[in-house]
Structure 1
Amino acid sequence: MSRILIVFALLCAGLSILTFGSYASPNDEHQGANDSSVQQVNLVVQWNRTLLAIVRTPGAQPATVHPTRSFAILHAAIYDAVNAIDRTHRPYLVRLSGVPRDASEEAAAAAAAHQVLVALYPAFQATLDAALRQSLAQIPDGNDKVEGIRVGQTVADRILALRSNDGSNAKPIPYVFGTAPGDYQSTPPNFPPQPQFTNWSHVTPFALERASQFRPGPPPALASDSYGDAFNQIKSLGIVNSTTATADEALTGRFWNGAIQNYWNEISQTFSQAHGLTTAQSARLFALLNLSLADDVIAFYDAKYTYNFWRPVTAIRAADPGINPETVADPHWLPEVGKTAPDSSYPGAHAVISASGAEVLISFFERDHAEFSVTSEVLPGVERSFTSISAAAEEATLSRIFGGQHFRFDLTTGQRLGRDVADFVLDNFLTPAHGKDESDDK
């Protein structure tokens, strides 16, 4: 266990950094309360970094629990705790009465975050306790601090209780690989014995009414022209040491070949700090983002294990011109990034999450243009720069072709699914409060 904590400490010290160019805020709502160039430490960002460090620590995340659940619970608790004091938007799940207006939002955020993460990652309690002490040391002592801590702990306990029987602890459903053309099969070169997260579509969504709410239609038939075109595109561009992909395209495939939700949390941290968002604004941004991403994963696993469509590496090695004369087999084909993610192909996770993350950020900041850089999760120190949020999302999506992971139709369908999920969250959750705050009457 000490080895895990050592790795965690190193990750905390060396979190990937994103840089941000000039990007004026579109309206006063998203301006920081202090116009000074020196901003207070944003505790929402600080605790998001703490969770990023945990999930990057080998062995810390349970293999059968998707990490987006932890981010959603963390930020649901932070948001409802801070919003119980701020009261500018509707609560997500927990409404408290009698909360003083002068309670510390920062203390509430830190206490809620600590309470959630200790419950989800008890092996890290000592490190998390130290992080809480550091957070609270930045807040002046007094009744407002004490009250903020109480609010944060209370909300966190309620959020944790509400998610305690959400199906995330269920054992994965045993999977039987298919054998017919188009069926998902274990992929070379490592041939995993079982795919991942076969039960995840049965987890209770955070915002969606059901996992299948935006389930897409099926992938194209193997005999279709659209399948043949997508097949030949990835066969040419996604193979290891491709002679048709440019050096930059091959780098793109490798650059984004990490946990895609981490990239979008990092991007959001950069935007939050660059805009000097208040604690309440940051709490809402990260809650919107991570409620969307958590439900993205539930929704795309519903689709993946509904259609059970084969991965490109299987399709290319087993292609049959008798089914589609445009598809010719290459029995030795392997993807640029080496291995294939251990789940079925349709739709593509990177596409879903990137479309969703971009939708949330563009909606929140009310513009797409931004000059910023992203550091890779898997290529230490390697950055790529962008001039818009949508450009980053598009590149992250197309990277799965260059990495040899997904057909183009996996990605276009995934983008629609991601936007649908994010739009549902944005339209129905954490919306502005109108009129007199109900909690004032209690």
Structure 2
Amino acid sequence: MSQSTRFEETAFHQAHQLLTDVIVTDILTPPVASRVYAYAHVAAYETLVAARPFSHQSLAGQLSQLTPPPVPTHRINPSIAAIEALLTTGRTMIFSEQMFDESSAKIWQSFVQKGYSPDTLALSRAYGRQVAQHILSWTTKDNYKATRAMRRYAPIKRPGMWLPTPPGYMAAVEPYWNRIRPLVLDSASQCRPAPNAPFSTAPDSPFFQLAKDVHQVGQTLTPEQTLIANFWDCNPFFLNTKGHLNFGTKKLSPGGHWLSIAGQVAAQTNADIMKSSAAYTLTAIALFDGFISCWDEKYRSNVIRPETYINAHIDEKWRPLLQTPPFPEYTSGHSVISSAVAVVLTHWFGDNIAFLDATEVPYGLPTRQFSSFKQAAEEASISRLYGGIHYRPAIENGQKQGQQIGEWVLQKIKIRK
């Protein structure tokens, strides 16, 4: 692999990391973050494929309503064009534009310092912007804008239904996300999971026993279980409360964590920019449709969180290790998206690839070693029980739901010709 090729791959990963950094700064919710990642990486992938039409398959006709992008009319550098497509698409979907522009400028300055010709940069970046505009036009048809104008969600005050939780009692996150156009699923409800246990407060009922299980696990956590819960917390906005002072701590989203894993394994396996882009793109598609499917179930079943139930019926002083996210409990988002992504990454990189995950190091947590994507997904799933924010059925049925989504992504999408 030439030095210039390796430099371009590094710059591509840097562009993805820039997008992640701004998503964290802007505190985008996990579903919204997945949307940004998906469109930005589809733009990059389609740009690369347009320059290599004989080896890889465009996603046009494979993703819902996506049409072929414009073809390059000049000789271009595909890597430069793909980076521009990713950055242009991402910039349109975030808020911290100045931060984004300053960091983007550093990436492009590195190309100048490496001796890339002004003409190559100009023509390649111009083509990347063309593809980005094509993708951005496609985004306008996914119903996202309409969901921004919908009425504020009012919690249903009936026994067993979700209610806002401490410490912030925040409003429900994305209650209308099932109205967003999926990329490969036929509908938001295609992979609908088995129902949760019926709500009951009777001590001998299955639901009470599920809550009791969460309570008991939370009281007997080992140091390793505590570390696992915190490692996979991925709460974009942790609310700190000290007396009358409230302030937020920004963190990576669950989707951002899995895309980080995709990038780390791509680098570990010396994947070229085409393989890296495909890994990011498949991961982002699984995340995007995974959140749509999961959120569809969350607001249909509308299950009460363990914290609310346990405080009312078992132990009024109990608090979960992690802050309870502001949306209904069933199914577990981590379980759904982690299982879906593990399926596609296993397909793309192979089974039993061991990797060191350093995603959470910037947030004060150590690296963790995994023997496979499946093992990482299983740990991410059970972390929600350790954190005290999910009952077991949400985890176990969420894993099955995610498995179905991942398999469907692979069934619907062909990358190589």
TM over 0.5: yes
Instruction: Give the 5 Å matches for 1:387-398.
Output: 387-398=371-382
Corresponding residue of 1:237 = 217
Alignment counterpart, residue 93 of structure 2, candidates 120, 132, 144: 120
Corresponding residue of 1:282 = 276
> In 1, are the aligned partners of 2:69 and 2:134 still within 8 Å (CA)?
no
Corresponding residue of 1:335 = 320
Cα distance per residue 1:159-218 (max 9 Å; x no partner): 0011024222323543332333321112234322x2111121111112222211112232
Q: Which amino acid aligns with 1:332?
A: K
| Counterparts in 2 of 1:73 and 1:403: CA distance versus 1, 3 Å | same
Alignment counterpart, residue 51 of structure 2, candidates 82, 85, 89: 85
Identity %: 25
Cα distance in 1 between the residues matched to 2:69 and 2:255: 30
| Counterparts in 2 of 1:65 and 1:127: CA distance versus 1, 3 Å | farther
Are 2:23 and 1:48 equivalent residues in the alignment?
no
Cα distance in 2 between the residues matched to 1:280 and 1:425: 19
Are 2:304 and 1:344 equivalent residues in the alignment?
no
SS of aligned partner of 2:355 = strand
Corresponding residue of 1:426 = 410
Larger mean CA deviation between 294-303 and 141-150 belongs to: 141-150
Cα distance in 2 between the residues matched to 1:139 and 1:236: 62
Alignment counterpart, residue 297 of structure 1, candidates 269, 291, 301: 291
> In 2, are the aligned partners of 1:220 and 1:227 still within 8 Å (CA)?
yes
> In 1, are the aligned partners of 2:278 and 2:415 still within 8 Å (CA)?
no
1:268 CA drift (Å): 0.9
Corresponding residue of 2:399 = 415
Q: Which amino acid aligns with 2:40?
A: L
Alignment counterpart, residue 258 of structure 2, candidates 253, 264, 274: 264
Cα distance in 2 between the residues matched to 1:377 and 1:177: 37
Taking structure 1 as the reference length, what is the TM-score of the superposition?
A: 0.79
1:144 CA drift (Å): 5.6
Corresponding residue of 1:214 = 191
Are 2:153 and 1:168 equivalent residues in the alignment?
no
Corresponding residue of 1:323 = none
Total equivalences in the alignment? 382
Cα distance per residue 1:349-395 (max 9 Å; x no partner): 11111112211210101212313233427841422222222111111
Cα distance in 2 between the residues matched to 1:217 and 1:139: 58
SS of aligned partner of 2:398 = helix
Cα distance in 1 between the residues matched to 2:101 and 2:406: 35
SS of aligned partner of 1:344 = coil
Corresponding residue of 1:159 = 135
Larger mean CA deviation between 130-139 and 365-374 belongs to: 130-139
> In 2, are the aligned partners of 1:351 and 1:411 still within 8 Å (CA)?
yes
Are 2:334 and 1:359 equivalent residues in the alignment?
no
Q: Which amino acid aligns with 1:302?
A: D
Cα distance in 2 between the residues matched to 1:412 and 1:377: 28
Instruction: Give the 5 Å matches for 1:43-82.
Output: 43-57=11-25, 60-61=26-27, 66-82=32-48
| Counterparts in 2 of 1:421 and 1:101: CA distance versus 1, 3 Å | farther
- Greater fraction helix: 2
Cα distance in 2 between the residues matched to 1:139 and 1:289: 33
> In 2, are the aligned partners of 1:117 and 1:128 still within 8 Å (CA)?
no
Cα distance in 2 between the residues matched to 1:49 and 1:376: 13
> In 2, are the aligned partners of 1:352 and 1:414 still within 8 Å (CA)?
yes
Cα distance per residue 1:282-332 (max 9 Å; x no partner): 11111111011011111111110011011111121233xxxxxxxxx2122
Q: CA RMSD in A?
A: 2.6
Taking structure 2 as the reference length, what is the TM-score of the superposition?
A: 0.84
Cα distance in 2 between the residues matched to 1:423 and 1:167: 25
SS of aligned partner of 2:370 = strand
Alignment counterpart, residue 198 of structure 1, candidates 175, 178, 184: 175
Cα distance in 2 between the residues matched to 1:310 and 1:318: 11
Gapped runs of 5+ residues in structure 1? 1-33, 320-328, 434-442
Are 2:124 and 1:130 equivalent residues in the alignment?
no
Larger mean CA deviation between 162-171 and 393-402 belongs to: 162-171
Q: Which amino acid aligns with 1:299?
A: S
Cα distance per residue 1:254-289 (max 9 Å; x no partner): 221112112111111111111111111111111111
